[in-house]
């Protein structure tokens, strides 16, 4: 099955009293469902299925409350009467998903962590297209060019959510926002952030009609980030961790900004720099 992106829905689902049927506990690593969930650590299988893994009761509960479609719920056998697990089973039953009680060792095998969460959910991914972005004056978007580190990407999603920014545009070959590592680093923010992906030419065409400002971070000919204007629909654009922004992306920026370096370091971590710029934007709008 080939995955086709779907639009981000703003409507939360309404949980019903239906509870997904509880089968016998899974005890074998050879079980097809265990293999399927383990495969979601690999990008090609996430692309084929359109699924991704989320770990933990709190994060899975938040995702279900926001209307994210749950296909599988793996949990520690015997916990089905826990009130939080029962609530998740209700959402799973409504979505027509499958409950997977199993041993702790199998949860560990799926999560690839020594101390796994006792609840793992497989959810359907959500993507939007550039044509679905209709900015209003209060909107802030973050655009990332070829970001490689899933920890950076997850932390940036968390900061986007924390600052009330609208969403994320991934340009060219970025790391997968639905990788297990990125989802972990986002601490559940992946469920609150609109995500679009595009090529550089597609973004350049989109940016040519952008009604507001585009601020990029770069050392050449750039101004202190505290002196920039952050009003109107805003895109904060950050470059690759090693290479920075390429010339075509710098050229479409309204202004290039930099964070002053007063120690021996000559640059900030990508996620930290994005956070600094986003909170400066928020400060200027308060």
Mean pLDDT in residue range 246-271: 91
How much is the pLDDT for 218? 87
Cβ contact 215:257 at 8 Å:
yes
What percent of the chain is modeled with pLDDT above 90?
A: 84
pLDDT of res. 4? 37
Q: Average pLDDT of 99-108? A: 96
What is the distance between the alpha carbons of residues 171 and 237, in angstroms, rounded to a whole number? 10
pLDDT in tens, 3-39: 333 333 444 443 444 787 899 999 999 999 999 999 9
Question: How do residues 191-232 score in pLDDT, each as one tens digit?
Answer: 999 999 999 999 999 999 999 999 999 877 689 999 999 999
Beta strand pairing status for 70-76 and 119-124?
Answer: antiparallel
Angle, in degrees to the nearest 10, between helices 32-39 and 104-111: 30
Q: Give the chain's length.
A: 286
Q: Is residue 268 within 8 Å of 259, Cβ to Cβ?
A: yes
Residue closest to 102 by CA, chosen among 42, 33, 39, 21:
33
Check if the beta carbon of residue 199 is closer than 8 Å to that of residue 171: yes
More confident residue, 10 or 78: 78
Written as one string, the DSSP assignment of 125-184 is ---B-GGG----TT-EEEEEES---HHHHHHHHHHHHHHT--EEEEESSPPPTTSHHHHH
**Phi, psi angles (nearest 5°) of residue 167:** 180, -165
Local confidence band at 140 (pLDDT 50, 70, 90 cut-offs): very high
The mean of the pLDDT values for the chain is: 91
pLDDT of residue 13: 41
Mean pLDDT in residue range 87-111: 96
Residue 115 has pLDDT above 90, yes or no: no
pLDDT at residue 3, as a whole number: 37
Write out pLDDT tens, residues 171-183: 999 999 999 999 9
Helices (H), the chain: 32-39, 43-49, 57-65, 83-95, 104-111, 150-163, 180-186, 200-208, 247-251, 270-285
Between 253 and 18, the more confident residue is 253
Instruction: Name the β-bridge partners of 127.
Output: none
**β-pair type (119-124, 140-145):** unpaired
Task: Give CA–CA dist 192/161, Å, rounded.
Answer: 6
> For the chain, which domains are there?
32-124 (3.30.1330.30), 130-285 (3.40.1280.10)
State residue 16's pLDDT score: 42
User: What pLDDT, on the 0 to 100 scale, is given for residue 1?
Assistant: 35
**pLDDT in the model for residue 76:** 96
| pLDDT tens per residue, range 146-161 | 999 999 999 999 999 9
What is the bridge-based pairing of β-strands 119-124 and 234-238?
unpaired
Res 9: pLDDT = 40
Rounded-to-10 torsion of CA 256, 136, 13, 48: -40
pLDDT at 2: 36
Question: In the chain, what is the greatest distance between 2 CA atoms, to the nearest angstrom?
Answer: 64
- Judged against a pLDDT cut of 90, whether residue 71 lies above it is answered with yes
């Amino acid at each position: 099955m080939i995955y086709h992106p779907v639009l981000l829905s703003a409507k939360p689902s309404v949980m019903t009293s239906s509870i997904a049927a509880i089968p016998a506990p899974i005890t074998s690593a050879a079980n097809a469902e265990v293999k399927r969930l383990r495969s979601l650590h690999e990008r090609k299988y996430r692309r084929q299925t359109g699924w991704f893994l989320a770990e933990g009761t709190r994060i899975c509960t938040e995702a279900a409350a926001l209307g994210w479609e749950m296909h599988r719920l793996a949990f520690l056998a015997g916990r089905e009467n826990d009130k939080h697990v029962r609530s998740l089973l209700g959402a799973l039953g409504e979505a027509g998903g499958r409950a997977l009680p199993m041993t702790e060792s199998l949860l560990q095998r799926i999560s690839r962590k020594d101390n796994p969460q006792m609840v793992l959910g497989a959810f359907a991914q959500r993507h939007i297209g550039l044509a679905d972005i209709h900015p209003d004056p209060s909107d802030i978007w973050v655009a990332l060019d070829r970001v490689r580190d899933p920890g950076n990407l997850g932390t940036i999603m968390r900061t986007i959510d924390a600052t009330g920014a609208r969403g994320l545009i991934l340009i060219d070959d970025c790391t997968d926002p639905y990788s297990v590592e990125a989802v972990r680093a986002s601490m559940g923010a992946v469920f609150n952030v609109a995500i679009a992906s595009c090529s550089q030419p597609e973004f350049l065409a989109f940016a040519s009609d952008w009604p507001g400002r585009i601020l990029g971070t770069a050392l050449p000919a750039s101004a202190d980030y505290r002196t920039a204007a952050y009003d109107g629909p805003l895109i904060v654009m950050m470059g690759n961790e090693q290479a920075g922004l390429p010339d075509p992306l710098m050229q479409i920026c309204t202004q290039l900004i930099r964070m002053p370096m007063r120690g021996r370091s000559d640059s900030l971590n990508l996620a930290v720099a994005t956070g600094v710029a986003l909170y400066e934007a928020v400060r200027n709008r308060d």
